[in-house]
Structure 1
Amino acid sequence: MKTLLIENKGNGIVVATLNQPKKANALSLQMIRELNDFLASVENDDSIRVIVFTGNGDRVFCAGADLKERKEMNMQEAKFAVQKIKRTINRVASLKQPTIAAMNGTALGGGLEFSLACDIRIASTDGTYGLTETSLAIIPGAGGTQRLSRLIGTGKAKELIFTAAKISGIEAKEIGLVEHAVRLNEVKQKSIDLAQVIASNGPVAVQEAKKAINLGIDVDLKTSLTIESNAYEQTLITKDRLEGLLAFEEKRKPEYKGQ
């Protein structure tokens, strides 16, 4: 059985669905392999403008590592599995295309770390969210300590991680962990609607904006402004920029090609 389902929604939007509902869409080794195959296929595909990650079922987006599978591993195998998950999640974060985590239900541990690697997160008001690793005497190992603190601030991130707290989708929205919290049956459609808006804008411009934000967040202002200027210059040489100006003049919707 395929543990990752790929659906092309048109207009450059692809939905990747974690497909192990009986295992709470846990990140098994098979799913990690299929995720890496998918990432390899889209990393340099200019026809893809937005990627939406979601989970199969109506309870859990992703429960993180497959702990049942992990129990059968020796120490060396467990370390290898942790590194594979970490590298895969970092690979998601490095995608040039905008990514949306459509969290159709609960996301804990590595499942939430997966969503933190995405650009935009949409939670379910019925879901539960948290980095709960300290309750298992470990810490988040796939970027959670770093991405969460950058997203919501160090104090709140420390509180959530130290206490292994599980919070609701509504609270996740209140503290800035997610951008939207909607009813469970609205999560996927909200994500698709948002993806459609993003995909209608200049693909090169959106990707350069993502690059400028990501590279600029951890450097001083002077350096970050240089990064922005360099990214802006990349948009000036595109055919899409000329199409945008022409469409504005002709009072019509632009048709961007990503060139």
Structure 2
Amino acid sequence: MTTTNKTVQDLTAKYEFLLCEIENKVAIVTIHRPPVNPLNTAVFKELTQLMTELENREDVQVIVLTGSGEKAFVAGADIREMLELEAVDMLEMNQTSRKAFSTIENLAKPVIAAINGLALGGGLELALACDLRIASEKAKFAFPEINLGIIPGGGGTQRLQRIVGQGIAKELLYFGEMITAEQALQWHIVNRVVPAENLLSEACEWAKKLAEKPSVALRMLKLAVNSGSNVDLESGLTIEMTCFGNAFATEDRKEGMQAFVEKRKPNFTGR
């Protein structure tokens, strides 16, 4: 991101494992548990809390989520923590992770995953909960849980098949093998692959473009797509119609149409 007219809100004092700064209506959230940023109960809770806070901030329109360092986005859940848990405790951790991923998925604002390295297990589940995914050419992806005698528990079996279809999903889930960024692109797991040195700037460029869009219409788009994907077609069309009506009722709709007629750039205000 550029430093011109930079207004940064540093939220890191509140969190042990997350870094966050805000500039030009874009929040960059970095998971910081070097060297490979594994997810544990504390990280899940912090993600839920921070994402909820960003949801309620008027100076944030789009969120970019990434991992610290060059080695990993998130290299899975913290196996050391899991190894010490009994089944009932694991269920509690699973519920905590589910809350974090669902919070991100259902956030009214777009979330872009900037996948800078390994996205394994829970890390891939985290990326799948985001709206868009941009990967470094060095990134690698896998659901290796089968090799540990378990299965994904953070939505991997459900979100993956909705993106790539059952055949490819089962291949990744059953074999637990690593795939490259290019393979992830071919299978539509990620939207774009870029050189490692350009990853964050590309993600922020996308975020900047989205931050300039009419925020209510963008929120209605996300709601229509997410909610419609889990119902039958007729119900989905009803959801779309309701969201369309909400967007049409805004001042931004009037401004957008007027600007189109007058052949000028619209000035959206989020109202």
What TM-score do the two structures reach when normalised by structure 2? 0.90
Task: Give the Cα–Cα distance (whole angstroms) in 2 for the partners of residues 72 and 143 of structure 1.
Answer: 22
Residue ranges of structure 1 left out of the alignment (5+ in a row)? none
* Secondary structure at the counterpart of residue 193 of structure 2: strand
Counterpart of 2:76 (choices 37, 49, 64) is: 64
Query: Residue 209 in 1 paired to residue 217 in 2?
Result: no
**206-215 vs 83-92, which deviates more?**
83-92
Counterpart of 1:218 (choices 230, 241, 246) is: 230
* 1:213-235 Cα deviation digits (max 9, x unpaired): 11112322222222111111001
Q: Could you tell me which residue of structure 1 aligns to residue 240 of structure 2?
A: 228
Residue ranges of structure 2 left out of the alignment (5+ in a row)? 1-14
**123-132 vs 75-84, which deviates more?**
75-84
What TM-score do the two structures reach when normalised by structure 1? 0.94
**111-120 vs 214-223, which deviates more?**
214-223
Does the CA contact (< 8 Å) of 2:220 and 2:243 recur in 1?
yes
Query: Residue 2 in 1 paired to residue 16 in 2?
Result: yes
Task: Give the Cα–Cα distance (whole angstroms) in 1 for the partners of residues 216 and 44 of structure 2.
Answer: 29
* Secondary structure at the counterpart of residue 38 of structure 2: coil
Moved over 6 A (4+): none
Identity %: 38
When the two chains are superposed, the root-mean-square deviation of aligned CA atoms in Å is 1.5
Query: Residue 128 in 1 paired to residue 140 in 2?
Result: yes
Q: Could you tell me which residue of structure 2 aligns to residue 21 of structure 1?
A: 34
User: Would the alpha carbon gap of residues 205 and 136 (structure 1) be closer, same or farther in structure 2, given more than 3 Å must change?
Assistant: same
Task: Give the Cα–Cα distance (whole angstroms) in 2 for the partners of residues 83 and 48 of structure 1.
Answer: 27
Distance apart, 1:46 and its partner CA: 4.3
Does the CA contact (< 8 Å) of 1:127 and 1:168 recur in 2?
yes
* 1:89-146 Cα deviation digits (max 9, x unpaired): 1111111111111001110000000000001111121111011111111111111000
1:21-60 paired onto structure 2 within 5 Å: 21-22=34-35, 24-60=36-72
Does the CA contact (< 8 Å) of 1:15 and 1:53 recur in 2?
yes
Amino acid at match of 2:22: N
Counterpart of 1:155 (choices 133, 143, 167) is: 167
Q: Could you tell me which residue of structure 1 aligns to residue 5 of structure 2?
A: none
Does the CA contact (< 8 Å) of 1:49 and 1:98 recur in 2?
yes
Query: Residue 115 in 1 paired to residue 117 in 2?
Result: no
Does the CA contact (< 8 Å) of 2:121 and 2:144 recur in 1?
yes
Does the CA contact (< 8 Å) of 1:148 and 1:157 recur in 2?
yes
Counterpart of 2:98 (choices 63, 77, 86) is: 86
Counterpart of 2:158 (choices 123, 143, 146) is: 146
